[in-house]
Chains A and B, each alone.
Chain A
Amino acid sequence: MDFAFSEEQEMLRRSARGFLAKECGPKVVRRVMESADGYDAALWKKISDLGWTALGIPEEYGGVGTFLDLIVVLEEAGRALLPGPFFSTMGLAVPVLIEAGTEAQKKDALGAIASGSAKATLAFTEPSGRWDADSIALGAHKKGGGWQLDGVKLFVPEADVADYTVVVARSRGTGEEGITLFLVRGKPKGMTVKPLETLDMTRRWSEVRFDGVELDGDAVMGTADKAWPQLKRGLEWATAALCAEMVGGIQKVLETSTDYAKTRHQFGKPIGIYQAVSHKLADMLVLSESGRSATYYAAWAVDADAPDRSLASSMAKAYVSDAYRKVAGDGIQVHGGIGFTWEHDMHLYFKRAKSSEVTLGDATYHRELVAQALDL
């Protein structure tokens, strides 16, 4: 057993951190988050030139490296609050494409993503905001040799700039039976994207409407009606990926707050000398380290296809969802008034924590999955 990243992966981490510090500092994050589409084409180009958009994609589709390499980069992306479609592409769409895509779809979409020429997302949630199979209602009906989609997806990340959208639809039945996945290129007739004003400005959630959208038969990913098992596996990859981003954010909040507690003086002493403050930071450290352990294990379990991959990803998401929200909130508290200002970056992490919490299922949802695994 060896519970650490390799020396090469640590080098990748150092270079990613250096790159993001230079190219994606707080000023850039704020400029992009305040822009119309939350996307910076020049930054995307640099990221893909570094090969980040190829990480974890199989070599035959133009990929390089492993999923664990991607985890390392995602952690750094979360630390820097990298805005734009990196997570929606690499964390959400790519895993489902790998699990469920047809050979032709993988060649096309994964190839385009790996080369940096395409961005993607996953359209799963509907107005209920739930992540279980039962919540899928967007209708898919056979029409001619193809399909017609009708319904609405909500809270879809980066849908406006995505070149590919993986759409989860209900072709019949209820629950896990009758789920069909579609790979949608661009924005076909009848598909409209309306960006939403959301809490976390570093992520773009949209409402995506499908009004009689007609797709060819080859848009179906895998087998019609039977996509849930592959989708579920894709979601497990995605969950580990999101947790990695969150762990990066937690670590940054902890470091920033610790530094502040060392330099901010009150009553003639650095506030970190007071145990009301230092013990809060110690608790943040425990949450950070434990979330990291749970996340790294989940990433390994998913990548190694371990029997507990599903349980491991649910445990990580449950833990990290609570941990990030708590740490980001306590980070504001340690900073006092300055931490509550728009000017300070702490609120960006607090908001990212909250949006990540509900993405791919919140802690309550994943605890229930864990309870089921315990035969409760």
Chain B
Amino acid sequence: MDFDLSESEKAFRDEVRAWLKANAPLEDGSTDMKEFIDTRRAWQKKLYEAGYVGITWPKEYGGRGGGFMDQLIFNDEMITAHAPDPINVIGLGMGGPVVIAHGTDEQKKRYLAPLLSAAEIWCQGFSEPNAGSDLSGLQTRAEDKGDHYVVNGQKVWTTLAHVAKWCMLLVRERKEANPREGLTYLLVDMESPGIEVRPLVQITGDAEFNEIFFKDVMVPKSQILGEAGGGWAVAMTTLLHERGTLGLALATRAQITASELAERARKLGRGSDRLVRQKIAQHTIEARALQLNGYRAVTAAKRSGIPGPEGSILKLMWSELNQRMTETAMDIGGPGSQVGDGDGWKYQFLRSRANTIEAGTSEVLRNILAERVLGLPRSR
């Protein structure tokens, strides 16, 4: 057991730190969506050119060929520097890894480089109005027309759909007794005729995500990822990466939020209140435990090669802790927290309600822990 970074890890950390100091833009407060997207796209391109995008991806596809530890060091430095995320979060966390796992050589050559450079943005079309946690109930249809499919249906909660070039679309090709069979995983060009994207306004007032409507959309069969009818397995790989990558990205985030919360308490003069002290200390301890769980997951992943279901612990812990922290931040500010931008916490407080729903609800994650880690019988 050794928590000190190795010489090469230290060198990488110092290099990233210096680079971010010289290059990271200040977190932009822009409310103009187009401007926001353009800035983030340019930022990712800059990161890519410096070799900091796709850190764990193989070199032959434009990645850095590094390990999970490098990714963790990079994530930590990004968060500590308050550097903005690259634009292509969905593509980097899920799209790329799933193409690497299931794509043909041709597909890998076609999609990975522009994904890394943010020349092409990706979105994920899994959830539907009637298929949320139970993905196997999805109804978007793909009709086989020989060399292509015709897709009809609706997807929802789709982050970045309004600017995406590619959509990881899970569709039903055939009805089977087992609803997990007969699904096909397509990479759909969002510029295809028949696709309509409508923004969805959230409880924060922002429109981070969208509905997508597919009306007689033609998708060539070259766009199948994996096997036709074998989409479920590809989807599961996608979600495994989603939670694994997300878990690592979240490991240090809660620490930063906790320290901002402590700063808020000091600024508002609430630090002498015994209950406030206890609460903030508890949040800080849980944030640290979460981070250490992340470090242990990295050590485990280094041995097994992929993030395990334990990654679900990180997402579950972070989402619930983040809600508690934003609640405490609101509480210690009193009514003032609810006025104007509430020192920035008002948005965080509202946004955090989605944390326990997006990328696997807390209920689904507890099922995963119960069934795949503890080996309890499946409830469904």
Contacts and interface: CB of A to CB of B under 8 A. Distances in A.
A42 interface: no
A270 B295 CA distance: 35
A306 B4 CA distance: 10
Interface in B250-283: 259, 262, 265-266, 271, 276-278, 280-282
Nearest to B277: A371
A283 B284 CA distance: 19
A98 B3 CA distance: 24
Nearest to B271: A376
Contact of B3 (A5, A275, A297, A375): A297
A286 B58 CA distance: 33
A74 interface: no
A282 B379 contact: no
Contacts of A286: 313, 316-317, 369
Contacts of A179: none
A374 B284 contact: yes
B203 to A, nearest CB: 25
Given A1-B295, A282-B369, A374 B281 contact: yes
A279 interface: yes
Contacts of B366: 275, 278-279, 282-283
Given A281-B370, A290-B286, A304-B4, A297 B377 contact: no
B378 A367 contact: no
Interface in A44-96: 68
B82 interface: no
A262 interface: yes
Interface residues of A, number: 47
Contact of B285 (A262, A274, A285, A319): A319
A179 B310 CA distance: 46
B379 A278 contact: yes
Contacts of A270: 376-377
B365 to A, nearest CB: 8
Interface in B59-79: 69
A290 B317 contact: yes
Interface string A278-315: 11011101100111111011011100101000000001
B1 A367 contact: no
A304 B310 CA distance: 27
Interface in A100-119: none
B363 interface: yes
Given A3-B3, A318-B282, A281 B292 contact: no
A239 interface: no
A371 to B, nearest CB: 4
Given A275-B379, A306-B3, A375 B266 contact: yes
B373 interface: yes
B110 interface: no
A293 B259 CA distance: 20
A2 interface: yes
Contact of A275 (B277, B298, B367, B373): B367
B376 A290 contact: no
A358 interface: no
A361 interface: no
Contacts of B278: 364, 367-368, 371
A294 B369 contact: no
B205 interface: no
A300 B286 contact: no
A371 B370 contact: no
A169 interface: no
A278 B370 contact: yes
A5 B1 contact: yes
Interface residues of B, number: 50
Contacts of B300: 4
B296 interface: yes
Interface string A315-342: 1001100000000000000000000000
Given A3-B295, A3-B299, A272-B377, A279 B370 contact: yes
A300 B292 contact: no
A223 interface: no
A278 to B, nearest CB: 4
A3 B280 contact: no
Contacts of B375: 258, 262
Nearest to A66: B1
Contact of A4 (B4, B277, B296, B374): B296
Interface string B1-30: 111111001000000000000000000000
A289 to B, nearest CB: 6
B289 A290 contact: yes
A201 interface: no
B353 interface: no
Nearest to A274: B379
A272 B290 contact: no
A6 interface: yes
B299 A2 contact: yes
Contact of B262 (A272, A367, A376): A376
Among A258, A262, A290, A376: residue with most chain B CB under 10 A: A376
B282 A262 contact: no
Contact of A367 (B285, B288, B293, B367): B285
Nearest to A286: B313
B268 to A, nearest CB: 11
B292 A294 contact: yes
A273 interface: yes
Interface in A262-280: 262, 269-270, 272-275, 278-279
A241 interface: no
Contacts of B2: 1-2, 300
A278 B370 CA distance: 6
A3 B300 CA distance: 8
20 contacts: A1-B6, A3-B299, A258-B375, A275-B363, A282-B365, A285-B374, A293-B293, A293-B295, A294-B285, A296-B1, A297-B3, A315-B285, A318-B285, A367-B277, A367-B278, A370-B285, A371-B271, A375-B262, A376-B265, A376-B266
Interface of A: 1-6, 68, 258, 261-262, 269-270, 272-275, 278-279, 281-283, 285-286, 289-294, 296-297, 299-301, 304, 306, 315, 318-319, 364, 367-368, 370-371, 374-376
Top 10 nearest A-B pairs by Cβ distance? A293-B292, A278-B370, A371-B277, A367-B281, A290-B289, A272-B376, A376-B271, A282-B366, A282-B369, A370-B281
